[in-house]
A = this chain, B = another copy of it.
Amino acid sequence: MTRTGGARGLPDAPVETLVERARSGDPRSVARLISLVEDASPRLPDITAALVPYAGHAQIVGITGPPGVGKSTTTSMLVAALRRQDSRVGVLAVDPTSPFSGGALLGDRVRMQEHAVDAEVFIRSMATRGHLGGLAWATPQALRVLDAAGCDVILVETVGVGQSEVEIAGLADTTLVLLAPGMGDGIQAAKAGILEVGDIYVVNKADREGAHQVVRDLRNMLALADRPEGAWRPPIIETVATSGEGLDKVAAEIDRHRDWMTGSGELDARRRRRAREEIEAIAVTSLREKFESVHADVRLDALAESVVRGDLDPYAAADSIIAAL
């Protein structure tokens, strides 16, 4: 069994044991580690320290695009294509779950059932816990678990447009941007920032009317970008995810992108940048936690009250909080 959602009940094995078992491909240990990571367990620093030496092998592939474009089906079919290349595959499905509902409206995900019995596929659905930066915070940790567990490729599927594709582009080695006919005009897509983050563009539902127009628009917009000699030129692949058509081509382009990334030094550069951002995020979170300690919290409320009354400006209030740390 490789569906990793139900393993929260695993007894608290030592971190080293969990990591060792995860490395040998034990799905329950992988699940347990991701749960600990997602819950921001106090053991997180230990877990991270135990995983770091084994991470760095996996190619992280972000999959983004507007709702309704067929991300889940594409992801599922891409898993199949990658399995045909004998890759061990991880899937993280990230929901920008509302901070208000706790995700109750989402219902249960029952996706990817066809891969649930494949021992070389790990699947995990993550909530972002509502806080902004939730994805930025927990996803790199979960990716590190799957990476250390020996995944060759990890697909990270994110829902929606907006700022999330920016985060995905920051996290991924390779970003797939999905489009489809009938999803609104090109300018809308450009607004959402979707046209600047892709390493590979996938025009799904290519059997539908308007698909060729989407490809043409995309080609024209990509042609506007000023790319230096030797730069990666994002390919555009047409797919029909429901039938699996074109997915082997997507898998091949993912391979080709990895080779280019490695050869050009871009892979190292992205990973250094990502490590830098992660360190910064951890440091900022750690400082933020200090604000939320009981003492600082009471002080912060009093300062907020003064700002609302117009007696104090927020910069002076912030200075006073920093001084108190």
Identify the A interface with B (CB < 8 A).
44-45, 48-49, 52-56, 66-68, 95-101, 105-107, 130, 132-133, 136, 159-164, 166-167, 169, 184, 187-188, 190-193, 195-197, 221, 224, 268, 271-273, 275-276, 278-280, 282-284, 286-288, 291, 300-301, 303-305, 307-308, 310, 312-319, 321-322
A197 CA to B44 CA in the complex, in Å?
32
Of B100, B224, B318, the residue contacting A286 (CB under 8 A) is B318
Count identical subunits in the complex: 2
A109 CA to B101 CA in the complex, in Å?
35
A48 x B315 contact (CB < 8 A): yes
A52 x B313 contact (CB < 8 A): yes
B48 x A314 contact (CB < 8 A): yes
A282 surroundings in chain B (CB, below 8 A): 314-315, 317-318
B52 x A197 contact (CB < 8 A): no
Of B106, B166, B287, B308, the residue contacting A275 (CB under 8 A) is B308
A314 surroundings in chain B (CB, below 8 A): 48, 52, 275, 278-279, 282
A162 x B286 contact (CB < 8 A): no
Instruction: Given A187-B107, A279-B307, A313-B48, check contact A96 B318 (CB 8 Å).
Output: no
Q: List 30 A-B contacts (CB under 8 A).
A: A44-B315, A49-B315, A52-B314, A55-B310, A67-B184, A68-B184, A68-B188, A96-B162, A96-B163, A96-B192, A98-B196, A99-B193, A100-B196, A101-B193, A105-B196, A107-B187, A130-B166, A132-B132, A160-B191, A160-B192, A161-B162, A271-B308, A276-B301, A278-B307, A279-B304, A279-B318, A279-B321, A280-B300, A283-B321, A287-B287
